[in-house]
């Protein structure tokens, strides 16, 4: 059925979603072979996560742990799951990071959250350092004897004994040695109002030899919290995974819930969702273009793009009830309909913004000092991007063309003929160029969406299935593809909801893109990627 899966002869079931998504169970050898086959066919790893399907009571349920992986192929997305036999407290599965380096941190996070561990080959060294767990989590009271850490997504009934919690542990950063090498530690608390993350630079003079990140400071227990919410209410939590991508995450969650329930979204609602998504894309591109200019000492750029973004957000507030359009996407459709006056206002703003964006792009392109800072800075070559799985707008600036709006054009994108924005240079200049191109394309798309808005309802009723069910959502957000895997149990409650932000793939690439540059250029490189801390840490 699918090129990468033909040799495996897997039994896959089509998930009733707007995009081509398949789901199936595999054994350990198939799990290992699937990763190699997907890599060999040019596919991508979208996400890797674990789930505890026990009822939290029976000891025999300890073998109800599974590890899941979602792969993107030319034909669609394949969600594979592998049941893990319990081996004491830990359960092991074959490592896939040798095929997909981005999986390494995902596997480390799964070990922290569930106690499932990737088994590495002898010639592929393991990195078993905790990722999300910084050492301050409590130990499970019923596991104190064997020293196991508390696993927040396990359902075995263990209650953490807060009196036994540890102080935050030191992180074993990789050390670079040599004459003149020294370290610069930046964060996790920063001088501005950005989220916390630690960056450890190994430098000679001002040249960066190595950068290593330590994330997880904004871990809030979102995945556990999902299991405590009603499925029809949990879209609000999904929309708060990463505030700058509230529409993308909420849409992906609602798509997953609708596919699990077999619900179709009205045509008018689909168009309005796309309108919201493109407005979110433009809002972030406007903000980033100004901030990138400011980091290259062009304060004029920050002032002008901040003005445009503020006008954009104000109209979003007037039209959809929230500056960031939170809670605008709801199960079955959207929360707000638009009248003719609102549609006219949106179209007029698209025209006005485009006129100014064209003028500002000419200034950016012709500003010698700005281009001197942009060109050749923070390069992620197409080969490196392909090897490490760089995705989204940063990937498209490095020759990785994936864009769900083009590759798997779910409604209403199939009728819009989205023009893909790509570059191959992979530097700050390329990422800025992609933002300009995508901004103009989104403005074109919104004008078409407003002009061709169909009639009808904006929300359909959803009846939850009276059985366990799976659903998946896959949406091209402004930063890249957002993925949600949803499992409902027999009582129509959320057993597991996994939200994946494209920042997981892109944070490691930022490390490589910084090597060889000078330390003062890191803020510029970092902003040109503009990755999410909160969307990663969950």
Cβ atoms < 10 Å from Cβ of 146: 10
Mean pLDDT, the chain, rounded, equals: 91
Spatial strand order of the sheet with 481-488 comes to 469-476, 481-488, 494-500
DSSP string over 30-42: HHHHHHHHHHHTT
User: What distances in angstroms separate CA 22 from CA 70, 116, 285, one per listed residue?
Assistant: 9, 24, 33
Q: Is 529 left (phi over 0), alpha (psi -120 to 50) or beta?
A: alpha
List domains and CATH numbers for the chain.
Answer: 3-170 (3.30.460.80), 222-502+517-528 (1.10.645.10)
Q: How confident is the model over 289-319, as pLDDT tens digits?
A: 999 999 999 999 999 999 999 999 999 999 9
Cβ burial, residue 27 (10 Å; 0-12/13-18/19+): exposed
pLDDT for residue 144: 45
pLDDT for residue 173: 92
Beta bridge partners of 437: none
What are 45's two structure tokens? Answer: 């790893």
What are 519's two structure tokens? Answer: 């330390």
Q: Is 485 left (phi over 0), alpha (psi -120 to 50) or beta?
A: beta
The residue-averaged pLDDT of 452-460 equals: 96
Choose between 60 and 482: higher pLDDT: 482
Phi first, then psi: give them for residue 71, nearest 5 degrees.
-115, 140
Task: Report H helices in 195-234.
Answer: 222-226
Q: Is the pLDDT of residue 377 over 50?
A: yes
pLDDT for residue 127: 86
pLDDT for residue 6: 63
The residue-averaged pLDDT of 51-61 equals: 63
DSSP conformation class of 150: P
DSSP conformation class of 90: B
What are 43's two structure tokens? Answer: 């596919």
Q: How confident is the model over 69-110, as pLDDT tens digits?
A: 999 999 999 999 999 986 545 588 999 999 999 999 999 999
Q: How confident is the model over 7-51, as pLDDT tens digits?
A: 556 889 899 889 999 999 999 999 999 999 999 999 999 999 999
pLDDT for residue 141: 53
- Smallest CA-to-CA distance from 311 within 323, 320, 321 is with 323
148: confidence class by pLDDT, cuts 50, 70, 90: low
What is the rounded distance in angstroms from the CA atom of residue 372 to the CA atom of residue 269? 45
Phi first, then psi: give them for residue 140, nearest 5 degrees.
-70, 130
Q: What pTM value is reported for the model?
A: 0.95
314 in Cβ contact with 324 (< 8 Å)? no
pLDDT for residue 87: 55
pLDDT for residue 58: 43
What is the rounded distance in angstroms from the CA atom of residue 338 to the CA atom of residue 113? 42
What are 470's two structure tokens? Answer: 């799976």
Q: How confident is the model over 112-123, as pLDDT tens digits?
A: 999 899 987 766
pLDDT for residue 64: 86
203: confidence class by pLDDT, cuts 50, 70, 90: very high
């Amino acid at each position: 059925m699918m090129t990468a899966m033909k040799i495996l002869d897997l039994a896959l079931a089509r998930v009733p979603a707007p995009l081509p998504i398949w789901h199936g169970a595999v054994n350990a050898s198939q799990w290992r072979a699937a990763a190699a086959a997907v890599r060999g066919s040019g596919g991508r790893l979208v996400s890797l996560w674990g789930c505890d399907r026990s009822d939290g009571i029976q000891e025999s349920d300890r073998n109800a742990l599974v590890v899941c992986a979602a792969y993107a192929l030319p034909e669609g997305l394949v969600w594979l799951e592998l049941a893990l036999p319990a081996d004491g407290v830990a359960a092991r599965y074959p490592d896939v990071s040798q095929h997909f380096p981005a999986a390494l941190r995902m596997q480390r996070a799964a070990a922290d959250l569930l106690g499932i561990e990737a088994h590495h080959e002898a010639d592929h060294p393991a990195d078993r350092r905790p990722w999300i767990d910084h050492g301050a989590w409590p130990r499970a009271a019923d596991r104190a004897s064997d020293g196991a850490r508390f696993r927040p997504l396990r359902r075995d009934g263990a209650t953490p004994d807060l009196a036994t919690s540890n102080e935050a542990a030191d992180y074993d950063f990789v050390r670079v040695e040599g004459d003149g090498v020294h370290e610069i530690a930046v964060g996790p608390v920063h001088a501005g109002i950005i989220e916390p993350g630690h960056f450890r630079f190994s430098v000679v003079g001002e040249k960066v030899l190595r950068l290593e990140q330590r994330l997880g400071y904004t871990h809030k227990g979102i995945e556990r919290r999902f299991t405590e919410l009603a499925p029809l209410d949990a879209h609000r939590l999904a929309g708060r995974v990463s505030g700058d991508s509230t529409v993308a995450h909420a849409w992906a969650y609602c798509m997953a819930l609708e596919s699990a329930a077999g619900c179709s979204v009205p045509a008018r609602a689909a168009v309005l969702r796309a309108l919201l998504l493109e407005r979110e894309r433009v809002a972030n591109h406007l903000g980033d273009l100004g901030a990138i200019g400011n980091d290259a000492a062009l304060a004029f750029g920050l002032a002008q793009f901040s003005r445009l973004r503020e006008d954009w957000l104000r109209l979003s507030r007037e039209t959809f009830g929230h500056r960031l359009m939170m809670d605008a996407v709801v199960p079955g459709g959207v929360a707000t309909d638009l009248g003719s006056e609102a549609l006219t206002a949106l179209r007029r703003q698209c025209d006005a913004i485009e006129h100014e964006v064209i003028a500002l792009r000419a200034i950016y392109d012709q500003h010698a000092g700005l281009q001197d800072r942009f060109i050749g800075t923070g390069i992620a070559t197409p080969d490196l991007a392909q090897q490490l799985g760089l995705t989204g707008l940063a990937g498209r600036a490095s020759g990785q063309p994936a864009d769900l709006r083009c590759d798997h054009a779910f409604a209403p994108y199939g009728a819009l003929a989205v023009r893909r924005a790509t570059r191959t240079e992979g530097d700050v200049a390329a990422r800025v160029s992609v933002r300009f191109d995508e901004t103009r394309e989104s403005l074109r798309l919104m004008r078409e969406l407003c002009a061709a808005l169909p009639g009808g309802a904006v929300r359909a009723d959803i009846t939850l299935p009276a059985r366990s069910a799976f659903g998946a959502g896959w949406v091209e957000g402004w930063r890249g593809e957002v993925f949600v895997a949803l499992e409902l149990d027999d009582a129509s409650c959320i057993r597991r909801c996994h939200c994946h932000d494209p920042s997981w793939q892109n944070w490691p690439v930022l490390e490589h893109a910084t090597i060889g540059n000078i330390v003062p250029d890191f803020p510029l490189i970092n902003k040109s990627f503009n990755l999410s801390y909160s969307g990663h840490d969950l």
